[in-house]
């Protein structure tokens, strides 16, 4: 039994905030942001537009791509750190928006690694018979938890959503081949939100020690990709495409150099989307599928790193 990707879709809010607009709010410049991060712009959700709205749009696009409807699903998982509400889960809100009142829906929280953690969970459930057809969504409105006076963090993030429809299929060589997830809670103070229901009864703002996160990200991402490939019995050199979490172009370049990846093999959307946390991997993958780079049968590795720290990789034959 394999978990095969049947459809993929994404959604970005209409408003594009260019670096120049950012420079009107905090003391920064287009030049600094581009040079240090590769980011040119980010999409920002409209007032009254919530994570579930973004996720719902991405879900509809993925279902249309799979030629399925919500009736065909029996599971919805949403990876997010910016849920509409503390509860109920954003997954159940999207389930209701899709008009689906069967099956089950729940959220998972692994910050920027959420989509990889979600892939791990979906793969395990589909292979074990726990579900037949699942919708996995990464959706975020990080603009709502940014400190818009902290130039060290507010320039880095954007809003968006991406989704895949995954089906359990017997006797196939396609689908998710292997996933490997990791975490280390000792580093939680390097990247966190300083509020929450139990501790402060507030939502809080994102806080980050950027250059320390950078160093851990490069080391841990490189290692988890090597481990995931080795556990799957695949050489890094045999992988067609790499779809990384889109945090910073310099992180992408450093990892590509360490693993000796070929130029053009690494899908990058960080310039257009900035860091959309759990949405960044499906947003980037959808871009490369829709423009014809990633084709059916290609070997693709997804990876991410985020708060916790959490990190992981997923290898699949698209």
Rg, C-alpha atoms of the chain: 18
Count of residues that bind ligand ACO according to CB under 6 A: 25
Which range, of 30-38, 43-51, 131-139, 227-235, touches ligand ACO by CB under 6 A? 30-38
**Contact (CB, 8 A) for 252 and 244:** yes
- Please report whether residue 138 would count as binding ligand ACO according to CB under 6 A: no
Report the nearest approach of ligand ACO to the CB of residue 198 (Å).
21
275 is catalytic: yes
Ranked by CB distance to ligand ACO, the top (closest) residue is 210
- Of positions 88, 103, 130, 152, contacts ligand ACO by CB under 6 A: 152
Pick the closer one to ligand ACO by CB: 93 or 213.
Answer: 213
Pick the closer one to ligand ACO by CB: 106 or 214.
Answer: 214
- Of positions 15, 36, 290, 293, contacts ligand ACO by CB under 6 A: 36
Choosing from 120, 178, 187, 245, the catalytic residue is: 245
Pick the closer one to ligand ACO by CB: 61 or 251.
Answer: 251
Taking residues 235 to 254 in sequence order and writing x for each that binds ligand ACO by CB under 6 A, - otherwise, the string is: ------------xx--x---
- Of positions 11, 117, 305, 318, contacts ligand ACO by CB under 6 A: 305
Choosing from 19, 248, 275, 286, the catalytic residue is: 275
Q: Pull the structure tokens for residue 18.
A: 């260019």
Report the nearest approach of ligand ACO to the CB of residue 217 (Å).
6
Which range, of 151-159, 165-173, 233-241, 282-290, touches ligand ACO by CB under 6 A? 151-159
Between CA 87 and CA 98 the distance in angstroms is: 18
139 forms beta bridges with: 161
**Contact (CB, 8 A) for 43 and 12:** yes
Could you tell me how many residues make up the chain? 318
- Please report whether residue 204 would count as binding ligand ACO according to CB under 6 A: no
Report the nearest approach of ligand ACO to the CB of residue 75 (Å).
26
Between CA 126 and CA 1 the distance in angstroms is: 8
- Of positions 92, 123, 277, 286, contacts ligand ACO by CB under 6 A: 277
216 is catalytic: no
Tell me the torsion sign for CA atoms 196, 199, 200, 205.
negative
- Please report whether residue 211 would count as binding ligand ACO according to CB under 6 A: yes
- Please report whether residue 151 would count as binding ligand ACO according to CB under 6 A: yes
Which range, of 33-41, 55-63, 123-131, 261-269, touches ligand ACO by CB under 6 A? 33-41
| Residues tagged active-site | 112, 245, 275
Q: Which residues bind ligand ACO (CB under 6 A)?
A: 28, 32-33, 36-37, 111-112, 151-152, 155, 191, 208, 210-211, 213-214, 217, 247-248, 251, 275, 277, 305-307
């Amino acid at each position: 039994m394999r978990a095969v990707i049947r459809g993929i879709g994404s959604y970005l809010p209409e408003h594009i905030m260019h670096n120049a607009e950012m420079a009107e709010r905090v003391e920064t410049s287009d030049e600094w942001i581009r040079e240090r991060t590769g980011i040119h712009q980010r999409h920002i959700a409209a007032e009254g537009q919530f994570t579930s709205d973004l996720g719902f749009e991405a879900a509809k696009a993925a279902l249309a791509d799979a030629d399925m409807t919500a009736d065909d699903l029996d599971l919805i998982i949403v990876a997010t750190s910016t849920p509409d509400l503390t509860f109920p889960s954003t997954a159940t809100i999207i389930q209701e928006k899709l008009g689906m009142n069967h099956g089950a829906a729940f959220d998972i929280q692994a910050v920027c690694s959420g989509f990889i953690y979600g892939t791990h969970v979906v793969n395990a459930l589909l292979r074990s018979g726990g579900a037949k057809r699942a919708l996995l969504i990464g959706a975020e409105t990080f603009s709502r938890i940014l400190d818009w006076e902290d130039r060290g963090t507010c320039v880095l993030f954007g809003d968006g959503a991406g989704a895949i429809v995954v089906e359990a299929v017997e006797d196939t060589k396609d689908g998710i081949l292997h996933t490997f997830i990791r975490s280390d809670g000792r580093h939680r103070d390097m990247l966190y939100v300083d509020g929450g229901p139990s501790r402060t009864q507030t939502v809080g703002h994102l806080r980050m020690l950027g250059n320390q996160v950078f160093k851990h990200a490069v080391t841990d991402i490189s290692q988890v990709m090597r481990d995931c490939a080795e556990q799957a019995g695949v050489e890094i050199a045999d992988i067609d495409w790499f779809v990384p979490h889109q945090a910073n172009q310099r992180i992408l370049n450093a990892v590509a150099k360490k693993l000796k990846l070929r130029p053009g093999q690494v899908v990058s959307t960080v310039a257009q989307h900035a860091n959309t946390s759990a949405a960044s991997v499906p947003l980037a993958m959808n871009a490369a599928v829709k423009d014809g780079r990633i084709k059916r049968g290609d070997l693709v590795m997804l990876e991410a790193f985020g708060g916790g720290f959490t990190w992981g990789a997923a290898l699949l034959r698209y």
